[in-house]
């Protein structure tokens, strides 16, 4: 096919993609996409017509916008700088990168892509990282100053409390992840048992690679950019044939004009150079997103994710540090509470304890051997996990040792 011609009007050629990425020169674009491919494991020829290294760039509308999101922001990637050293990356740099990505997801992506990304568990985590990192750095700084500088601070007691608190936190982190994994496994087993045959009869046997990508996307601890890259790879599994110059077909044709006119819209008849009037591509792409790309969107998951984000945002607006509460007069020590407030708190605690007691009484009348076996297995798994992590994290442990040493250096008499 002629150089520079697109397979479908709705797709993006090199110039359109460069405009979408806000990259002005082809050498810069080539360099950016090569780095991106290396970082996320793409093959450069996957973005070429006929998957040929010498072919024209070709970006299907199915994933061009999320890909442009990554390309556009690679300049903000903390490790992108030529002199960047992984050990010197600051938490605030990671926070800023997450904030930029999340802001662009909300403001620059088509609504269908925005909703799809909202359903990825790591999106909420990225929002929280961008919100909470500065608070974490500030409060850890104050904590370190407090345990080493306050005149009458008993640092040994603080370490005793901190070790116990961290030990409990580490177990609870493992416990939460273990429970979630088992729930996912149970749900998948139930679906396979109850609906696998029907699903395969309708959609065919699911490809193993597609299943792996979908499972990878659902991990909560993914970075937001990595999850978007996995989403692109998932969509590419369904769009591989589009790269063939002789297999593409237009999404809309002049035959669709009657239906479009009923909607108050119209697509102009295109010439054989595969061009169109300004704005037509936008309209056709938007219709394509809402009718075809929407297949990757679970509306139920999106509504749940949107609700969680909104609730979280409301809590963030109300969240205040103790210093802020002292300044606005809302902070109270427990001894400062009124008798009526103390009564309400105590009554609520009693209600909660009565509810717990009722649950325990119900459990006593039922057999819970399977639950005890499950918890015993989980505890044994935690011991194995604990030993393995410590064994495999010697480099990180050394870095943490150095970090803690720099904190405790203030406890030594140093030469003035």
159-163, 217-221, 331-335, 388-392: least confident range: 331-335
**DSSP three-state, residue 57:** strand
194-198, 230-234, 235-239, 376-380: least confident range: 194-198
Rounded to 5 degrees, what are φ and ψ at 48?
A: -125, 150
Residue 367: the pLDDT is 58
**DSSP three-state, residue 333:** coil
Rounded to 5 degrees, what are φ and ψ at 85?
A: -120, 125
Across the strands, what pairs with 59? 12
82-91, 127-136, 243-252, 385-394: least confident range: 243-252
Residue 269: the pLDDT is 46
**Per-chain mean pLDDT for the chain:** 84
Torsion angle, CA of 127/132/134/139, rounded to 10 degrees? -170
- The answer to whether 252 and 270 are in contact (CB under 8 A) is no
Structure tokens of 253?
Answer: 């044709």
Residue with tokens 């103790």: 322
3-12, 33-42, 264-273, 338-347: least confident range: 264-273
Residue 79: the pLDDT is 87
Element (H, E) at 107: helix 91-107
The CA-CA-CA angle for residues 270, 276, 277, to 5°, reads: 125
Across the strands, what pairs with 48? 57
Average pLDDT over every residue of 210-234: 93
State the Cα–Cα distance between residues 408 and 402, nearest whole angstrom.
10
Average pLDDT over every residue of 395-415: 81
Residue 353: the pLDDT is 92
pLDDT digits (tens, 9 = 90+) for 244-302: 655 557 777 766 666 666 655 555 544 434 444 444 578 888 889 999 999 999 999 99
How is the chain split into domains, by residue range? 154-203, 367-416
Residue 245: the pLDDT is 57
Higher pLDDT, 199 or 387: 387
Residue 369: the pLDDT is 58
- pLDDT exceeds 50 at position 320: yes
State the Cα–Cα distance between residues 357 and 230, nearest whole angstrom.
46
Residue 264: the pLDDT is 55
What region does 398 belong to: left with phi over 0, alpha with psi -120 to 50, or beta? alpha
């Amino acid at each position: 096919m002629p150089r520079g011609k697109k397979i479908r009007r709705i797709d993006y050629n090199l110039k359109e993609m460069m405009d979408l990425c806000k990259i002005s020169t082809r050498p810069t674009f080539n360099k950016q996409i090569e780095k991106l491919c290396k970082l996320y494991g793409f093959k450069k020829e996957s973005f070429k017509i006929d998957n040929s290294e010498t072919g024209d760039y070709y970006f299907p509308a199915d994933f061009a916008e999320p890909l442009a999101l990554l390309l556009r922001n690679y300049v903000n990637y903390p490790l992108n700088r030529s002199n960047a050293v992984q050990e010197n990356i600051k938490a605030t740099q990671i926070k800023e990168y997450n904030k930029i990505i999340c802001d662009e997801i909300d403001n620059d992506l088509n609504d269908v892509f925005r909703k799809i990304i909202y359903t990825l568990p790591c999106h909420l985590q990225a929002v929280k990282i961008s919100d909470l990192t500065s608070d974490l750095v500030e409060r850890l700084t104050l904590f370190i100053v407090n345990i080493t500088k306050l005149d009458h601070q008993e640092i040994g007691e603080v370490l005793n409390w901190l070790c116990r608190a961290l030990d409990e936190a580490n177990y609870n982190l493992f416990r939460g992840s273990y429970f979630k994994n088992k729930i996912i496994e149970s749900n998948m087993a139930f679906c396979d048992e109850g609906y696998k045959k029907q699903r395969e009869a309708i959609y065919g046997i699911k490809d193993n690679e597609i299943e792996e990508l979908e499972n990878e996307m659902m991990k909560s601890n993914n970075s937001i950019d990595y999850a978007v890259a996995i989403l692109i790879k998932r969509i590419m599994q369904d769009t591989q044939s589009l790269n063939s110059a002789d297999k593409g077909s237009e999404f809309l044709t002049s035959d669709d004009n009657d239906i479009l006119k009923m909607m108050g819209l119209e697509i102009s008849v295109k010439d054989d150079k595969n061009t169109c009037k300004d704005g037509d591509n936008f309209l056709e792409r938007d219709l394509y997103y809402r009718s075809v790309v929407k297949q990757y969107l679970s509306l139920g998951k999106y509504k749940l994710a949107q609700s969680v984000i909104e609730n979280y945002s409301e809590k963030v607006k109300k969240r205040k540090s103790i210093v802020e509460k002292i300044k606005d007069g809302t902070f109270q020590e427990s001894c400062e509470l009124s008798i009526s407030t103390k009564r309400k708190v105590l009554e609520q605690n009693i209600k909660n304890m009565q509810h717990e007691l009722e649950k325990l009484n119900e459990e006593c009348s039922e057999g819970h051997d399977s639950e005890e076996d499950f918890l015993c297995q989980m505890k044994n798994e935690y011991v194995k996990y604990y030993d393995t992590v410590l064994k495999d994290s010697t480099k990180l442990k050394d870095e943490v040792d150095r970090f803690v040493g720099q904190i405790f250096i203030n406890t030594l008499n140093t030469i003035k």
